[in-house]
Amino acid sequence: MELANIEKIVAFIGALVVFSFAIIGLRGEWRKTGLDDQVTKVLLGLMAFGCILVVLACFGILPHTAAGGPA
């Protein structure tokens, strides 16, 4: 198996794990109202979005990732 494919598989599994824990963390913060809690909500949400980008990159769904791996 090519190194790029191994990297994609590890990144995909990691993205699922990190996304899950980010959402769990976000749910825990949801009812809190302090400034630090509000900022944390935004940042955890964006991090979860980052995990979605990684998954899209792993599957080559975005335009420039279709070929995947090193150019």
Partner 1 sequence: MAVSVAPGHGVGHDDHDGGHDDILYRETRDMRLMGFVLFLGADVVLFSSYIFAYIYLRNSIPSWPPPGPDGHALPRLDTAFAAFNSIVLFGSGVTMHWALEHWKHGNKARYNLFMWLTIFLGIGFLGGQAYEYAHAAIGGWSGNTFGASFFTLTGMHGLHVAVGVGFLFALWLQTTRGVYTKERFFGLTAGTLYWHFVDVIWVVLFFLFYLW
Scanning residues 18 to 47, which ones bind partner 1 (CB under 8 A)? Answer: 18, 21-22, 25, 28, 35-36, 39-40, 43-44, 46-47
Q: Where are the alpha helices (DSSP H) in the chain?
A: 3-29, 35-59
Structure tokens at 21: 């824990």
Distance CA 48, CA 26 (A): 9
Near partner 1 by CB under 8 A: residue from 1, 30, 32, 62? 62
- The torsion defined by the Cα of 28, 33, 36 and 37, in degrees rounded to 10, comes to 20
Q: Could you list the residues that contact partner 1 (CB under 8 A)?
A: 3-5, 7-8, 10-11, 14-15, 17-18, 21-22, 25, 28, 35-36, 39-40, 43-44, 46-47, 49-51, 53-54, 56-58, 62, 64-65, 68-71
